[in-house]
Structure 1
Amino acid sequence: MMSYHLVLELVLTRMQFLFSSDAAEELKAAISDKNHELILIRDFNLVDEIWGESRPAPPNEPTRVHAIKYAGVDVASKLSFVRSQLDENGCDTVVISMLDEVAWLLNMRGSDVPHSPVFYSYLTVEMSTATLFVDSNKVSEEVLEHLKKAGVKLKSYEAILFDVERLAEKGAKLWLDSSSVNAAIVSVFRSGCDRYMRKRGKTERQIGKEASSDDPTTKKRGVQNMELNGLYKASPVTLAKSVKNESEIRGMKNSHLRDAAALAEFWCWIEEEVRNNVALTEVQVAENLLEFRRKQDGFIETSFDTISGFG
Structure 2
Amino acid sequence: MTIFERVNALRSLMEEKKIHAYIITSSDPHMSEYVPDYWTSRQWISGFTGSAGTVVITKDKAGLWTDSRYFLQAEKQLEGSSIQLFKMGIPGVPNQYEWLLSELEQEANIGFDGTCFSIAQTKELKNALADLSFHIHEDEDLINEIWSDRPNLPKQMIFEYPVEFAGQSRNEKLAIIREEMRRLDAKHHFVGSLDDIAWIFNLRGQDVNFNPVAIAYALISEENSSLYLDQSKLDNETILNLKNDGVEIFDYKQICNDLEELPSSENVLLDNNRSNLRIYRSITANIIERENPSQLLKSQKNSIEINGIKEAMVQDGIALTQFFCWLEENLGKIKITEFTLMDQLRNFRSQQKHFVGESFSSIVGYKAHGASPHYSTTAETDCEIKAEGILLIDSGGQYMNGTTDITRTTALGELTQEEKLDFTLVLKGMIQMSLAVFPKGTRGCNIDILARQPLWQYGKNYGHGTGHGVGCFLNVHEGPQSIRQELKEQAILPGMISSNEPGFYKAGAYGIRHENLILCKEKQSTEYGDFLEFETLTLFPFDTKALDLNLLNEVERNWLNHYHQKVYDSLAPHLDEKHKIWLKDKTQAI
User: Which band: TM-score by shorter chain?
Assistant: 0.7 to 0.9
Q: Which residue of 2 aligns with 1:260?
A: 317
Select 2:137's aligned residue among 24, 39, 62.
39
Tell me which residue corresponds to 2:105.
8
Letter in 2 for 1:8: E
Q: How does 1:1-311 map to 2 (within 5 A)?
A: 8-9=105-106, 10-41=108-139, 44-52=140-148, 54-169=149-264, 171-189=265-283, 192-193=284-285, 229-274=286-331, 277-311=333-367
Name the CA distance, whole Å, in 2 between partners of 1:256 and 1:168.
48
Question: Percent identity of the aligned residues?
Answer: 29
What amino acid is the match of 2:175? Answer: S
Cα drift, residue 8 of structure 1? 2.3
Identify the structure with the greater helix proportion. 1
Name the aligned partner's letter for residue 118 of structure 2: S
1:51 maps to a residue whose letter is W
C-alpha distance in structure 1 between counterparts of 2:208 and 2:220, whole Å: 24
Residue correspondences, number: 265
Change (3 A) 1:7 1:271: closer
Name the aligned partner's letter for residue 288 of structure 2. L
Write out per-residue CA displacement over residues 220-246 of structure 1, whole angstroms, 9 at most, x where no aligned residue: xxxxxxxxx321111111111111111
Per-residue deviation, 1:172: 2.2
When residues 103 and 7 of structure 1 are mapped into structure 2, their CA distance, relative to the original with a 3 A threshold, is closer
- Which one-letter code corresponds to 1:301 in the other structure? G
In structure 2, distance between residues paired with 1:103 and 1:6: 42
User: CA contact under 8 A between 1:16 and 1:182: conserved in structure 2?
Assistant: yes
Normalised TM-score (structure 1): 0.81
How much does 1:7 deviate? Answer: 6.2
Secondary structure in structure 2 of the residue aligned to 1:179: coil
RMSD of the TM alignment (CA)? 1.6
Alignment CA distance shift 1:76-1:301 (3 Å): same
Superposed displacement of residue 145, structure 1: 2.4
Matched residue type, 1:106:
F
What secondary structure is seen at the aligned counterpart in 2 of 1:17? helix
Q: Deviations over 1:265-301 (max 9, x none)?
A: 11121121126x2221111121011110000111111
TM-score, length basis structure 2: 0.44
- The SS at the match of 1:309 is strand
Q: Tell me which amino acid in the other structure corresponds to 1:303.
A: S
* Alpha-carbon separation, structure 2, partners of 1:130 and 1:238: 18
The 2-side partners of 1:182 and 1:245 are apart by 30
Q: How many Å separate the matches in 2 of 1:39 and 1:51?
A: 20
Distance 1:256 1:187, change over 3 A: same
Looking at structure 1, the residues matched to 171 and 364 of structure 2 have their Cα atoms a distance apart, in angstroms, of: 43
Deviation per CA, 1:93-132, whole angstroms, max 9, x where unpaired? 0001111100000001011111101111111110000000
Q: Choose between structure 1 and 2 for higher RCO, CA contacts under 8 A separated by at least 6 residues.
A: 1
> Which AA in structure 2 matches 1:295?
Q
Separation in structure 2 between the aligned mates of residue 308 and residue 182 of structure 1, nearest angstrom = 35
Uncovered stretches (5+) of structure 1, i.e. residues with no partner: 194-228
SS of match in other structure, 1:308: strand
Residue identity in the other structure for 1:244: K
| Cα distance in 1, alignment partners of residues 234 and 217 from structure 2 | 14
Instruction: Show CA shifts across 1:13-44 (max 9, x none).
Output: 12211011111111022223123222221xx5
Structure 1 CA distance for aligned equivalents of residues 173 and 104 of structure 2: 54
2:111 is paired with a residue whose SS is strand
Counterpart-to-counterpart distance in 1, 2:103 and 2:135: 17
Q: How far apart in 1 are the matches of 2:346 and 2:320?
A: 10
